[in-house]
Amino acid sequence: MLSRNSVNILKRLQVRLQSTLVIAEHNNATLTPITRSSITAAKKIGNDVTVLVAGTKCSEVASSVAKLDGVKRVLVAENEAFNGFLAEAITPLVLAAQKQFNFSHIIAGASAQGKSIVPRIASKLDVSPISEVIAIKDKDTFVRTIYAGNAVLTLKSLDAVKVLTVRGTNFEATGDASAAAVVENAPAGEFKTDLAAFVGQELAKSDRPELTAAKCIVSGGRGLKSGENFKILYDLADKLGGAVGASRAAVDAGYVSNDLEIGQTGKIVAPDLYIAVGISGAIQHLAGMKDSKTIVAINKDPEAPIFQVADLGLVADLFKAVPELTEKI
Ligand SMILES: Cc1cc2nc3c(=O)[nH]c(=O)nc-3n(C[C@H](O)[C@H](O)[C@H](O)COP(=O)(O)OP(=O)(O)OC[C@H]3O[C@@H](n4cnc5c(N)ncnc54)[C@H](O)[C@@H]3O)c2cc1C
């Protein structure tokens, strides 16, 4: 017969064993939208949700995370070692938190940062990382795309700890909470690393919305024929308050920089409106945009595969059609 005390300890252990850690992404000032989506994914698992905020001066971000719906606790770690958010420094912090709290699930967004941290954590915990999750069926069963988005795989993980990246475009952003969650210090430790050093970063400055957060994207392909010709897309995007994206062919040809690339090796987007201009619709491009709510294609070739996924198609010369469209808006 177990004493009441032992029962309570067992109950607490049970709660611990079924809890989820979300690794927040931010720039020490504002939270990246994918974290709100990751929290929604965590809520779907059904456990208590803890969010880890690691940075150099990130206490304000931690306070804002505490006010998000579904968050039970925020662990905050401020340390110069997290300058540049190097995966080599953040991984031991996550492992220290895991050692203390014994989470059953660890989630990060499927962003460059999440994709860098999660495999390291999974390998240290000796479990399989589950990447680019697009839906959560239950605490063990996850849906993800494979073969550049051409097949959907539902997998059941038998690992003791599930370590996932989730696609931001497939989970709504969590809303604000009525009451703030507890904010406490993450486990302390020596997180300075000799494996990598943060030298600096140059961020592209733009008045236009960021691609992965834009509600409207005007995207150009090889059909634009030059970087200068992208101006007609910028004019249209400005009228629509949208962002400009590109196919890999347009990036490889040097028409635009590679941070505009959409697709399997570029960004995954799902805006309300995606206008594909002079893009043929190769599977690798579709992998990055086919979840867009409304897809419009402008292409002079009526057989172009992009028309198979388009809600609205215009068979026309883009150099005539796009300026006309911009003028009429
Ligand atoms: C491993 C791998 C990963 C890849 N990852 C990506 C990725 O992430 N993103 C990506 O985009 N691609 C990716 N690709 C490349 C992909 O296979 C295609 O080559 C690429 O998407 C083609 O780009 P495009 O549609 O701009 O060019 P094209 O296929 O050359 O199409 C150009 C289109 O423009 C139309 N056009 C030309 N002139 C006009 C005009 N005047 N008016 C109207 N229409 C016109 C043509 O009819 C044509 O349909 C990847 C490939 C590989 C092998």
Note the pLDDT of residue 203: 78
How far does the centroid of ligand 1 lie from the alpha carbon of residue 222, in Å? 6
Tell the residue nearest (CA) to atom 20 of ligand 1: 249
Confirm whether residue 299 is marked as ligand binding: yes
Note the pLDDT of residue 6: 58
- With pLDDT > 90 as the criterion, what percentage of the chain qualifies? 83
In 138-199, which residue ranges form alpha helices assigned H by DSSP? none
Confirm whether residue 278 is marked as ligand binding: yes
Residue 169 near residue 291 (C-beta atoms within 8 A):
yes
Q: Copy the structure tokens of residue 277.
A: 């201009």
Residue 24 near residue 51 (C-beta atoms within 8 A):
yes
E-assigned strand segments in 56-169: 71-78, 105-109, 129-136, 141-146, 151-156, 162-166
Note the pLDDT of residue 244: 97
Tell the residue nearest (CA) to atom 31 of ligand 1: 280
Predicted confidence (pLDDT) per residue in 40-56, tens digit? 999 999 999 999 999 99
Note the pLDDT of residue 9: 56
Closest CA to 76 of 122, 143, 133, 31: 31
Note the pLDDT of residue 148: 75
Delineate the domains of the chain, giving CATH numbers in brackets.
18-185 (3.40.50.620), 211-328 (3.40.50.1220)
Confirm whether residue 280 is marked as ligand binding: yes
Q: If you average pLDDT over residues 292-317, what whole number do you get?
A: 97
* Model confidence at 157: pLDDT above 60: yes
Q: Copy the structure tokens of residue 96.
A: 């220290």
Helix (H) or strand (E) holding 121: helix 112-125
- Give the mean pLDDT of the chain: 93
Confirm whether residue 83 is marked as ligand binding: no
Q: What share of the chain is helix, strand, coil (3-state, %, to 5)?
A: 35, 25, 40
Q: Copy the structure tokens of residue 224.
A: 């634009």
Dihedral (CA of 139, 141, 143, 146) sign: positive
Note the pLDDT of residue 134: 95
How far does the centroid of ligand 1 lie from the alpha carbon of residue 249, in Å? 5
Residue 89 near residue 23 (C-beta atoms within 8 A):
no
Predicted confidence (pLDDT) per residue in 79-105, tens digit? 999 999 999 999 999 999 999 999 999
Pocket test for ligand 1, best of 132, 255, 264 (most atoms within 8 A of CB): 264
Residue 3: pLDDT band with limits 50, 70, 90 = low
User: Which atom of ligand 1 lies nearest, measured to the CA of 319?
Assistant: 41
Note the pLDDT of residue 202: 82
Q: Which residues' Cβ are closer than 6 Å to ligand 1? A: 221-223, 247-250, 261-266, 278-280, 282, 284-285, 288, 299-301, 304, 317-319
Tell the residue nearest (CA) to atom 23 of ligand 1: 249
How far does the centroid of ligand 1 lie from the alpha carbon of residue 225, in Å? 12
More confident residue, 203 or 134: 134
Predicted confidence (pLDDT) per residue in 161-189, tens digit? 999 999 998 999 999 999 999 999 999 88
* Model confidence at 4: pLDDT above 90: no
The C-alpha atoms of residue 185 and residue 83 are separated, in whole angstroms, by 18
How far does the centroid of ligand 1 lie from the alpha carbon of residue 105, in Å? 38
* Model confidence at 15: pLDDT above 80: no
Note the pLDDT of residue 59: 95
How far does the centroid of ligand 1 lie from the alpha carbon of residue 275, in Å? 14
